[in-house]
Structure 1
Amino acid sequence: MRTLEEVQATLEIAKLKEEDLQKSVQCLSFGDSVSSDDYCLMELDDTLCQHIEAGHSLVIRGDKDEHAVLCSGDKTYDLKIAHTSNLLLLLPGCKTHEQLTNSQDSTHVIDANIWGFCSSYWEVRRHRPRLKKLLRVLMENPYEGPAIAGQQENTENTVIRALQYTMDDLLETIQASEEEIKNHLKTLHACQINGFWRVLDPDYEMKLVGHVTQLVDSESWSFHKVPLQTSLEELGPLEPREMIEHCFNCYGTRYIENGEVFYALDEAKVCRATALMLLNNAVKFNLGEFQEVWQQSVPEGMSTRLDQLKSVALVDRTARPETICLLNVQDLPEDTLERFNHLFTLREKWTEEDITPYIEDLCGEKQTTGALLTKYARSSTQNGTKVFNSRRPIST
């Protein structure tokens, strides 16, 4: 342990004036078993510090082949190692000059024991949740309707159960916070069946939508006022009641009038689902013919519009005749660079109006689609219209 006289002698050799320094002198020494491998440091912002101080936890998620992310209850953060030229020392119980009660006294020596050291630390940055995997794992075993008695053997049931996921299973598998996962499950129209989260098979989901819209047409109901109880009584013999009600929750808004439950069907959602069903049956569709068939396929009173198909269908105005094809943003790569490369293999030049729906989900906090286009695309003018193409050659 150093004495005050030894400290003063060191200051004199270093040509430092004692009056220019704090009154408390920290003398550092290494412990008997200090190692750089014993500790990892992480830099947190005020929000995450308050999260920890409030008693909440942070979870690191990711499989061995995935880049790890850090999740709070409602946000996802990217983890990156940051190196520093200054050695970071871990000194438990160490206090600054301001924290010492006798900081105003004469110079005194404090011995501090070093427990560990690091030359790097984990840097945490807000990041988009990685949710593409959620649909992929749920589509391993989509719900196709109630099983027919005796249709599946016990061995098959065992395999199917292995492909079902509880919320805890999803939290172990998906790199996102619990709130972000729950919100995306709603977007995917997933529901809980026997305690497991399931997505509906697309054909089965459209079958449910068809039952509901056909009933609305046959009863001449306004799609703004569809009675739940009557619908369940009429459709109950065809499909499980909980599935009918789930369909109403996905494609409508629930309200109560005079003690009776009604649903107002969402025009945009119903029209969008109907369009997806039609587009799934063709690689490309003549735009004029498609719009005519589409309008005829939705309930009376609903109006189809192309803006209802943003991020799921792409119109080619340069073709003669004009065409429309299926292009769902959920089927595109999750990585930003891969997404742009894929889009530019599909079409060499994009207008901002066409490409925006397919890159909006890539925007991080305080980031705009304009900033993404500036970074990953090059703009030019074609026939008086601003278009974007790739900054690098794209192999097709």
Structure 2
Amino acid sequence: MRTLEEVQATLEIAKLKEEDLQSVTHCLSFGENVSSGDYCLMELDETLCKHIEAGKSLVIRGDKDEHTILCSEDKTYDLKIADTSNLLLFLPGCKTPDQTKEASTDTQLVHAEIWGFSNCYWELKQQRPKLKKLKKLLMERPYEGPTLRTEEAPEQMFSTADLLETIQASKEELVSHLQQIDACEIDGFWRILDFDYEMKLLGHVTQLVDSESWSFSEVPLTICLQELVGLEPKEMIEHCLNCYGRRYTAEDGEVRFSLDEDKICRATAQLLLQNAVKFHLREFQEIWQQSVPEGISTKLDQLKGLALVDRSTRPETISLLRVEDLPEDTLERFNCLFSMREKWTENDIAPYIQDLCGEKQTTGALLTKFARCSMQNGSKVYNSRRPVAT
């Protein structure tokens, strides 16, 4: 190992003034059997540093055919290797100049052993969780009601732990999305109701509301469960109310639900459209209004992200197009949309790209990046920036 005198002699040969340098000099040496593959370096922002320092963990997720991502408890990060022209050294116990400011001004020599080195590191960038796979997995075994439960095999269903092993998302993002897609936990496994069964439950609820002459904003939970328990399990009735209503406690202490008319209208529209390639718009609107409970009004605005109206045809048509059925990747999503329709108005395309926006990103910014704007009959329309296979 070098001595302080040897270091000072080297500085003199290099014609460097000792007073121009830091007072603490690190003398580096390689440990035995050091290899560049011994350690991986990862660049963390302040939030993730505090996360690690608090004793919490980060989890790397992804199947063999998926791009690797890293998750904290509540966020998802893209994980990429970044190369650097400088060799990065791993020195346990090494102190930066800021950490040695209060040390003696006398020249000091610190011997540090290099434990590892690398010319690359893992770079993190926060991204949207990849959740499209979640509903697809759960829909492989939809819950069709209590009468068919004996035929179900537990190994074909998913608990929270199972989903965390499969889905590229943090636990908080996963649970939040399970709630968004109206999944429910049955016997420790997450399930999505079969759509026909879900509509059957909703039909029971709306028929009871009608027969009791209740307001849609004041549906009592207890009476609902008492009246419908002979038809379906209490848990399923309450789950249906949670899906299509907002729970609140009335002044008398009773739990009630305010049913969401827009959700009821959307579900009814999906039921009508799911078996038709296209529907004449006017005919659909008439049947749709007749199909919802009395007192509820249907509006096309309720179908954003669910159905697409084509006003270029005569007569005008409407067809089912669910945003959840579109590709999760941004470029693939735009290619898919432009293969369906060459030109889109912003009002038509916005519901199908809204979920692609980042925290501070707008649909307008996405369109600027992935589409070309032009005027058609006095209206602004968007088409693809590149040829799209149809």
Q: Same fold (TM over 0.5)?
A: yes
1:101, distance to aligned residue in structure 2 (A): 7.3
Matched residue type, 1:117: F
Indicate the residue corresponding to 1:135 in structure 2.
Answer: 135
1:379, distance to aligned residue in structure 2 (A): 0.8
**8 Å contact kept, 1:143–1:198:** yes
Matched, 1:247 2:254: no
* SS class of match (1:35): coil
Listed one character per residue, the Cα deviations across residues 341-364 of structure 1 (whole Å, up to 9, x for unaligned) are 000000000111111111111112
Q: Distance in 2 between matches of 1:263 and 1:30?
A: 69
**8 Å contact kept, 1:286–1:324:** yes
* SS class of match (1:33): coil
Q: 1:61 to 1:110 in 2, by over 3 A?
A: same
Moved over 4 A (4+): none
Indicate the residue corresponding to 1:368 in structure 2.
Answer: 362
Q: How does 1:117-128 map to 2 (within 5 A)?
A: 117-128=117-128
RMSD, aligned α-carbons? 1.5
Among the aligned pairs, what percent are the same residue?
70
Q: Distance in 2 between matches of 1:134 and 1:43?
A: 29
Indicate the residue corresponding to 1:232 in structure 2.
Answer: 225
Q: Which moved more, 1:250-259 or 1:270-279?
A: 250-259
Indicate the residue corresponding to 2:169 in structure 1.
Answer: 176
**8 Å contact kept, 1:26–1:109:** yes
Q: TM-score, normalised by structure 1?
A: 0.95
* SS class of match (2:142): coil
Indicate the residue corresponding to 2:299 in structure 1.
Answer: 305
Q: 2:314 aligns with which of 320, 323, 346?
A: 320
Indicate the residue corresponding to 1:296 in structure 2.
Answer: 290
Matched, 1:208 2:201: yes
Q: 1:20 to 1:205 in 2, by over 3 A?
A: same
Indicate the residue corresponding to 1:13 in structure 2.
Answer: 13
Q: 1:204 to 1:17 in 2, by over 3 A?
A: same
Q: Distance in 1 between matches of 2:108 and 2:183?
A: 66
Q: Distance in 1 between matches of 2:229 and 2:189?
A: 23
Listed one character per residue, the Cα deviations across residues 179-217 of structure 1 (whole Å, up to 9, x for unaligned) are 111111111111111111101011111111111112222
Q: Distance in 2 between matches of 1:268 and 1:164?
A: 31
* SS class of match (2:84): strand
Q: Distance in 2 between matches of 1:205 and 1:62?
A: 32
Q: 2:323 aligns with which of 320, 326, 329?
A: 329
Q: Distance in 1 between matches of 2:201 and 2:161?
A: 29
Q: Distance in 1 between matches of 2:343 and 2:329?
A: 20
Q: Distance in 2 between matches of 1:278 and 1:101?
A: 73
Q: 1:378 to 1:102 in 2, by over 3 A?
A: closer
Q: Distance in 2 between matches of 1:317 and 1:212?
A: 35
Q: Which moved more, 1:19-28 or 1:91-100?
A: 91-100
Q: Distance in 1 between matches of 2:219 and 2:97?
A: 71
Matched, 1:338 2:353: no
1:330, distance to aligned residue in structure 2 (A): 0.4
Indicate the residue corresponding to 2:145 in structure 1.
Answer: 145
**8 Å contact kept, 1:216–1:299:** no
Listed one character per residue, the Cα deviations across residues 199-249 of structure 1 (whole Å, up to 9, x for unaligned) are 101111111111111222232221111222222222222111110111001
Q: Which moved more, 1:355-364 or 1:13-22?
A: 13-22
Stretches of structure 1 that go unaligned for 5 or more consecutive residues are none
* SS class of match (1:269): helix
* SS class of match (1:112): strand
**8 Å contact kept, 1:43–1:124:** yes
**8 Å contact kept, 1:126–1:365:** no
Indicate the residue corresponding to 1:48 in structure 2.
Answer: 48
1:56, distance to aligned residue in structure 2 (A): 1.8
1:33, distance to aligned residue in structure 2 (A): 1.4
1:148, distance to aligned residue in structure 2 (A): 5.2
Q: Distance in 1 between matches of 2:372 and 2:101?
A: 61
Stretches of structure 2 that go unaligned for 5 or more consecutive residues are none
Q: Distance in 2 between matches of 1:347 and 1:41?
A: 46
Q: Distance in 1 between matches of 2:389 and 2:249?
A: 56
**8 Å contact kept, 1:23–1:107:** yes
1:34, distance to aligned residue in structure 2 (A): 0.7
